[in-house]
Amino acid sequence: MSQVRLTIVHVQAGKVVRQIVMGLITKRKKELEMNINPDQMDVMTSMLHDDLDAVDICKKLGAFFVASFDTTSSAITFIIKSLAEYPHVYQRVYEEQMEILKAKKEGEPLNWEDVKKMKYTWCTASEVLRLYPPSIGAFREAKTDFSYGGYTIPKGWKIFWNAHTTHKNPKYFLDPKKFDPLRFDGSGPPPYTFVPFGGGPYMCPGKEYARLQILVFMHNIVT
């Protein structure tokens, strides 16, 4: 499919998604006006309570859709690539997942206790997120004057923190270009040196969801 054709498909799909979401927003707004399920609280309802315009809500929800899908699918793609490139890593992930599978009855789904046992698997995923972070970083605003790398950053300036360079800092990651899941074994790297999900109060709210999705996918693909 040509790039132009692909772009047209994306635009058309976007219109369909917006129509569906706008319909859901209108429906939920009427429910709130009629006091139907007033205690039901989700992102859409929260924004309606804040009196946000329906178009703005639709845009924000669209951004959530993209952020939640694009980042996890990118991470999973690089995980599969890395498992193929490092057979010894794949073997350890496979053995860990097979131990979990053998302890379950046929057809029994994974549960939270199973996920907590996937320690080496998550170390592997974390190493992939270190080398290939789905999000390159984000803009922030300096709350006060500060100095960094010999430069003074005035209060109010916009700054951009970069996950790629942070994750490859040899001060915190020995031999940073080497693929080594065991660097995440135990307590792992110091705070704010491994930031695929950001850090502090603005950390990605989907971190645990992404972790669960990635681990369940890895379990199914290797078993």
Cα atoms found within 13 Å of the Cα of residue 172, Cβ hemisphere only = 15
H-assigned helices in 34-53: 43-49
The CB density around residue 165, as the number of other CB atoms within 10 Å, is 10
Annotated binding site: 204
Cα atoms found within 13 Å of the Cα of residue 19, Cβ hemisphere only = 6
Sign of the alpha-carbon torsion through 79, 82, 87, 88: negative
Annotated binding site for heme: 204
Q: What secondary structure does DSSP assign to 170-205, as a single string?
A: TTTSSSTTS--GGGGSTT-SPTTS--TT--GGGS-T
